[in-house]
Structure 1
């Protein structure tokens, strides 16, 4: 294992292949070590492209390493994005694009680190993989635009603003919660002349620069910050930039602008609330996500359970509760022969109780039919699970996994109902009420448990469907935008 980590630092693919050849399970044993990170973290940090690709290529453990977290809750994609290793970022995104949403202990996603370091090519890859990740904010309310301004990466800021949209005034003027500053406030405070020029060239940001609805916690607009942070003659450059833009652009009265932007301020509050809800939703979906190959892990167990249920329900069908008639019977039984009303059986010369048929079917035909309905459904559902497992269908497909889970739940449910109905059939009338109460408790408890499990799998299927449709939508939109730019160049 020590040699594996040394190979990850050296980027030696030959040593990696040799170690895996000697011990095919070596990648699965990484979680048993005391190391804080995986070899994939190290190779992604140091930029060993070939070593990273070779690690990811080894199934099934290789792709799972892309979602592993280190001591600081950082995935390999965080490290590769921070260091600007674009090829490694592309390989990691190809294996697991959902890692774009993973937050480390500082609440940062990989895109935040790419913006902090100004890696343009990495930003392009991350935004293309998950376009909505650009709207993610930190716990302090800072957006990815705040980080680009703080670390003075103008080109990264331009790319991010273009990706968000120049007309997205609400996001471009979002405030961080610590000081209530927008990106224009920060640019003024940090004396970033070129950044100020660029931001004032955007109509939405320029308008908000003098709007009272975009004051920070000290009740100052970005325009007010110019006098506060740059009162000296040598800072006249920033003052002149503001005067140039606010006088040459034929602005309306600031009071009219404030009224116009009041609704945008309310939209900003709603956007923050929506972002918080989205963050909690992603945390919940991350908890629901199974880390590993679910089908591979439980394939054998499912086969055994389905076979056992099929055997039990088959035996119940041919050996029903109460047994079967041992011989043809044409008379009533016992002391009740003279009083048919006290005898549930209707055997007679004209209505023979045939040998081999169920005894209780002649006594309580309706209840017995319910029992057989439950038993037959459980039998067919368990056979469906077995058939699906041996059919060769791509079980890793989300829809097949959902169908497999629902078929197993259906099989277990109707097996439980068969048990309860059988218990009800063989219970004496004297204690029937007590058994019925137990029947109701068991039934409703099972229904609640089944609903929780069914909802869990259904929610996972819906999340997968929505994500897939959304990716297709953004992909089509990007293709359409690219074709439009080619047909109608600016």
Structure 2
């Protein structure tokens, strides 16, 4: 079988025929042994004659997905091999609609690659392929806008206009974004003008996504950049509005019901930037959590090393040099400060340890974390008055062991979620009473 695949990579038709002469059923054995077939290799390498011969002998190979979830048509489309695409279409034009990994079709890959001739060929032979969406409900138009494929987008817009399929321009992805939302998000003025020029009567310029935002809202919620004003003028000329100008608002407060009176714009922004499972990748979330943990470690370490009010510079009857001035003046407040600051520091170290557990150089990283932990504890202990040093030592030593258990219990009983809900209701009630 390896010999067959090597021949496919070279695209040698003569060697293929010689191999089949020795073993006529060799091609029929391929699906039993491998998820890939010779047509996959030929489609990647662009060997047209070899692909034609395989399609002649085993046309069913055209629909087989490899271990990565791609068919030969996917691979040929991604690489722009128009002649191989045509040969596969002759076998079965509906292969253009074959969903592979994450629902991606060959047309999707052709759009991502900007292969306009492949796009035109597929649309000419399989009109329905433009309707297909990915697992994230993205159409080919979404993919073209998201990946700055302007030439591909123009081909698609022209085709939808000619075939009276312009309703696809208003399709929404899993987050409720139309292609106009994406164009605004990417600050693509050329795309915005292209959409409004070609499809101004069909395009819904005031479509609202799942975060309650229109295209104009997306433009206005971020700091102004060069070209934003021009985009805003184009949108408003086309009749674009903010969501608050479209949706009627109830400004009255009911005292019998806890109806929240919240600024809709602020609420929409909070929802928009909130974590969404499925949209935000685990790697992005891990990176964000690491940044936050490092910032907290930095801030809490600074407080532990240099307590507020600084330290005494000399010995006296009531204090020793190097001890915290705050601890001498207000011991209760100092203990509260050390307790909360140590919790923040140790929880952040625990987060860093958890998020980097399987990283390379794990031993070296743990040594660094332990050294930082020891440095912090020594600094806090030394700056504490003698009367609190025992408490400080015990507390900071026990805390690292208690952190995982405490966090697990808090997470299990959803303590902070419930506290947040109570505070939210209390805040809304206060707002209603004020108004």
TM tier relative to shorter chain? 0.5 to 0.7
Normalised by the length of structure 1, the TM-score is: 0.47
Whole-angstrom CA distance in 2 between matches of 1:28 and 1:140: 36
Match of 1:190 in 2: 186
Summarize the alignment of residues 270-285 of structure 1 with structure 2, pairs less than 5 Å apart: none
CA 1:28 to 1:171, structure 2 compared with 1: closer, same or farther past 3 Å?
Answer: same
Match of 2:231 in 1: 241
Task: Give yes or no for contact 2:216–2:235 (8 Å, CA) kept in 1.
Answer: no
Match of 1:46 in 2: 45
Q: CA deviation at 1:68?
A: 1.9
Summarize the alignment of residues 15-414 of structure 1 with structure 2, pairs less than 5 Å apart: 15-33=15-33, 35-58=34-57, 62-165=58-161, 168-177=165-174, 179-204=175-200, 208-209=204-205, 211=206, 214-229=207-222, 231-232=223-224, 235-244=225-234, 246-247=236-237
Q: CA deviation at 1:168?
A: 4.4
Secondary structure at the aligned position of 2:102 is classed as coil
Q: CA deviation at 1:54?
A: 1.6
Task: Give yes or no for contact 2:86–2:121 (8 Å, CA) kept in 1.
Answer: yes
Residue by residue over 1:307-330, the C-alpha shift from the partner in whole angstroms, topping out at 9 and shown as x without a partner, is xxxxxxxxxxxxxxxxxxxxxxxx
- The structure with the largest alpha-carbon Rg is 1
CA 1:23 to 1:192, structure 2 compared with 1: closer, same or farther past 3 Å?
Answer: same
Whole-angstrom CA distance in 1 between matches of 2:240 and 2:192: 21
CA 1:205 to 1:174, structure 2 compared with 1: closer, same or farther past 3 Å?
Answer: farther
Q: CA deviation at 1:154?
A: 0.6
Whole-angstrom CA distance in 1 between matches of 2:150 and 2:118: 15
Whole-angstrom CA distance in 2 between matches of 1:37 and 1:252: 50
CA 1:253 to 1:2, structure 2 compared with 1: closer, same or farther past 3 Å?
Answer: closer
Secondary structure at the aligned position of 2:26 is classed as coil
Q: CA deviation at 1:111?
A: 0.9
Report the aligned-residue RMSD: 2.6
Q: CA deviation at 1:199?
A: 1.5
Whole-angstrom CA distance in 2 between matches of 1:23 and 1:49: 23
How many residues in Structure 1 have an aligned counterpart in Structure 2? Answer: 245
Residue by residue over 1:425-483, the C-alpha shift from the partner in whole angstroms, topping out at 9 and shown as x without a partner, is xxxxxxxxxxxxxxxxxxxxxxxxxxxxxxxxxxxxxxxxxxxxxxxxxxxxxxxxxxx
Task: Give yes or no for contact 1:184–1:205 (8 Å, CA) kept in 2.
Answer: no
* Structure 1 unaligned spans of 5+: 260-490
* Structure 2 unaligned spans of 5+: 248-435
CA 1:203 to 1:9, structure 2 compared with 1: closer, same or farther past 3 Å?
Answer: closer
Whole-angstrom CA distance in 2 between matches of 1:194 and 1:10: 43
Match of 2:278 in 1: none
Summarize the alignment of residues 406-445 of structure 1 with structure 2, pairs less than 5 Å apart: none
CA 1:168 to 1:223, structure 2 compared with 1: closer, same or farther past 3 Å?
Answer: farther
Task: Give yes or no for contact 1:4–1:39 (8 Å, CA) kept in 2.
Answer: yes
Secondary structure at the aligned position of 2:183 is classed as helix
Whole-angstrom CA distance in 2 between matches of 1:93 and 1:169: 25
CA 1:16 to 1:242, structure 2 compared with 1: closer, same or farther past 3 Å?
Answer: same
Q: CA deviation at 1:48?
A: 1.0
